[in-house]
Amino acid sequence: MPTDLMSALAVLDCHEPGSLLESRETRWLDAKAAPYRLGEDPRAAEELAGDVAALANGGGGVIVIGIATRTDNDEVVLDRVVGVGPEAMDFDQVRELLRARITPAPRGVRIGWSGSGDGGGRVVFIHVPEQAPGTLFVVAAPTGRPGAQRADTVAVPVRDGDGTHWLARTQIQALLSAGVRACGAPTDQALAALAGQAVPEAGPGGGEPRAGQGLWEHEREMREAHKDLAVAGLGQPAGPVRAHGPAVLQDFHHARGDEPGWVLCLAAGRPPVAVAAPVWQAVLDAGRLAPGQEPLTAVGCPVPPEGAAGPWVIGADARSLDLAGGTWGAGRLTCAERGVGGWRWEPLPRFGLHPSRSAEDWTDGQQPALRLRAVVTLPWAGADTLEITRPRRVQLERQLPYGVLAGAVTMLSRRRGAEPRTAVWERTPSGNSARCAGYTCTIPAPGGGPALRAAAMLALPTTTNPAVVACAEVLVEDPAAWARTFGTGPNTRLDFDEVQTVLLDAWETAAELLPGLVGDPGRLRWAAPPTTELRMTCERPADSGALPALGTLVDLAPLGVGYDGGRSCMAVTVTASPAMGRRERRSLMRQALVRMALEFGYVDAGVGLL
């Protein structure tokens, strides 16, 4: 049970809102059983603005929507998760309301989902971080009636224990008096100047916003970018500046009234970028699929072409743009010709050594001498609604005997002088259900037992893993049986080019063939970057009980000189789109293997050696 704001946010980000149950509402934790009725009751907008401003005034906190409470010894206790339906909260409406009703607008407010499934298990949270010291957040005095807010009233909400309360008029007067005592009674001219610093004056249009209005620390940069981009069609501002994730944004009209407007984006360390409104919406839509994150926090901001020094423009006719700076890493948003199929985000290829949570799945009870494996993690949005149908399973069973993974087994056999029979793929006894599929193909050794085996598996999301996972592999079960089967004598090692072929075929099977079990992967969108882990492992202990070194079963000479040190496992993770051509996949695999070799001590490794 969390005892502070950071631990509460941690369980929400891990999609475990149930861990908050039995917590007490405090100065930093506020629970709501039902969403604010923003479109139905004007008092709901006032309540939301007051609750958020109160947390901002009190050092920060979080509002959790979808958890019912009970009263226990005069304390409000989070009692049970009732959940929030996906249509019940419009995050953009909430953000716009907070910007419009709270002065100044709180910085860095984060809105997201927590939990799994739709409805019953999911809650919404609004995290209000600690704000700049000395800032007081106010709202218009609540009226409970529809209509525009009065501009000549002010109310100060504060968080007091487990509730939001309002400072009395005498308390507000005392605050103002304290300021007068500290700074002296202002003259009319000084008061006007002070008000101008606190609330920027209207633009030339009399009440119309101006470039940079709302965040004074970015005003100059916004004005300069607006001036430079006017020639591209950037017209007058359509609203104040706002913060969104890692960026500062402002909406602008198009200089020609019949054209879509613009969003001017400022991100730290990058030139300003003006993005046509339809394209900007595509950016937000891609990031909105990330659970529990602001869209731009996930996908990042538009990145100008390499070498661009000044403001950059992405027009409404753009068909691709690069994004960076988000938790998803560098990616590219692309649109089919004439918009067919809509926009789609894909990661730009990169390599790492972090293993996936499924790296060692489907290995219980197995101890092959050598395993060459590709594990593809497919974090599709809405993956919990996918299913494996019987027609798709039958289609896969027809494809496997003629696929590239069966070809890898044939290649290993023929290069050792054997002509294998047509590969027979069988369902694994424990790897098949309504939500998973598993198949193996075995080449037996003389006298019984397997010499060589291939396997292909796919699993739909579980409570512990929200992604679809596909795996394909080839296993050398027993070196002695391997030698008897193929007559290879004592030298049973695989050439490294054989290893590359097997890994390439395993990757293609897991990334292209197995995902067909869920239908058409091209219609699905990402909720996180997809990854592929390429692994080489020795898993059968020697007589000494220790695992043998990879070099005893794989010829690692093409990687150059390196210190093996008895290493029995080497792996590398590739973040890239699963679908690609074979030539591109081969090139990417070789780059990944070089990265792996360098990280594991083969400092002379290079693509040319492979």
* Digit-coded pLDDT (tens) for 374-417: 999 999 998 888 999 999 999 999 999 999 999 998 888 877 76
Q: Are residues 143 and 245 in the same domain?
A: no
> Tokens in use for 472?
């394909």
pLDDT of res. 190: 47
Residue 172 lies in a domain: no
Number of independent structural domains in the chain? 3
For the record, the structure tokens of 103 come out as 């002065």
CA atoms of 8 and 28, how far apart (whole Å):
10
> Is residue 471 a contact partner of residue 533, using CB atoms and an 8 Å limit?
no
Residue with tokens 């046509």: 276
Q: Chain centroid to CA 503: how far?
A: 27
Count the neighbouring beta carbons within 10 Å of the beta carbon of residue 532. Answer: 27
At 234 the pLDDT is 86
Does residue 382 sit in helix, strand or coil? coil
- Judge if 358 and 464 occupy the same domain: yes
pLDDT, one tens digit per residue, over 156-181 is 888 777 677 787 777 777 777 777 66
Query: Tell me, what CATH number does 134's domain have?
Result: 3.30.950
Q: Which domain holds residue 88?
A: 5-167
DSSP secondary structure letter of residue 522: G
Tell whether 413 and 559 lie within a shared domain: yes
pLDDT tens column, 178-224: 776 666 555 444 444 444 444 444 444 445 677 877 676 777 888 88
With 0-12 / 13-18 / 19 or more C-beta atoms within 10 angstroms meaning exposed / middle / buried, residue 221 is middle
Mean pLDDT of 68-87: 88
pLDDT in tens, 424-440: 899 998 778 889 999 99
Q: Span 316-344, mean pLDDT?
A: 84
% of the chain surpassing 70 pLDDT: 87
Same domain, 478 and 571: yes
> Do the domain assignments include residue 542?
yes
Summarised one tens digit per residue, pLDDT across range 259-281 is 888 999 988 878 889 999 999 98
| Residues 270 and 291 occupy one common structural domain | yes
pLDDT for the residue numbered 9: 87
Task: Give 396 or 563, the one with higher predicted confidence.
Answer: 396
The answer on 365 and 337 residing in a single domain is no
* Cα–Cα distance, 331 to 348 (Å, whole number): 5
Supply the pLDDT for residue 403. Answer: 93
Cα(156)–Cα(164) distance, integer angstroms: 10
Rounded mean pLDDT, 545-560: 86
- Residues 451, 583, single domain; the answer is yes
Note the pLDDT of residue 188: 47
pLDDT (tens digit per residue) in 278-307 = 999 899 889 888 887 888 889 999 988 777
Domain boundary among 305, 327, 348: 348
Provide mean pLDDT across the span 535-545.
Answer: 84
Q: Is residue 183 part of a domain?
A: no
- Statement to judge: residues 85 and 49 lie in one domain: yes
Assigned domain for 153 exists = yes
Cα–Cα distance between 357 and 536 in angstroms, integer?
A: 17
Tokens of 582: 């074979």
Q: Which of 191, 198, 229 is nearest to 211 (CA)?
A: 229
Q: Of 148, 167, 186, which residue sits at a domain end? A: 167
What is the DSSP pairing of strand 312-314 with strand 273-276?
Answer: parallel
pLDDT score of 356 more than 90 = no
**pLDDT interval class at 421 (50, 70, 90):** low
- CA-nearest of 560, 586, 563 to 574 is 586
Q: Does residue 249 fall inside a structural domain?
A: yes
The rounded distance, in Å, linking the Cα atoms of 367 and 537 is: 10
Rg (CA), the chain: 30
Residue 190 lies in a domain: no
Say whether both 413 and 562 belong to one domain. yes
**Higher pLDDT among residues 198 and 334, named by residue:** 334
Whether 517 and 380 share a structural domain: yes
Q: How confident is the model at residue 609 (pLDDT cuts 50, 70, 90)?
A: low
Paired strand residues for 164: 159
319, 348, 377: which is the final residue of a domain?
Answer: 348
pLDDT value, residue 498: 93
Is 279 within the bounds of a domain?
Answer: yes
DSSP β-bridge partners for residue 535: 373, 571
State the Cα angle at 421 between 416 and 422, rounded to 5°.
120
Inside any domain, residue 302: yes
pLDDT in tens, 92-114: 888 888 888 888 888 888 888 88
Q: How far is 610 from 593, CA to CA, in rounded Å? A: 9
365 and 312 together in one domain: no
Better-scored residue on pLDDT, 478 or 123: 123
| Candidate from 79-83, 132-136, 367-371, 601-605 with smallest mean pLDDT | 132-136
Q: Residue 140 is which amino acid?
A: A
Q: Report pLDDT for 193.
A: 43
Residue 444 and residue 578 share a domain: yes
Average pLDDT, the chain: 84
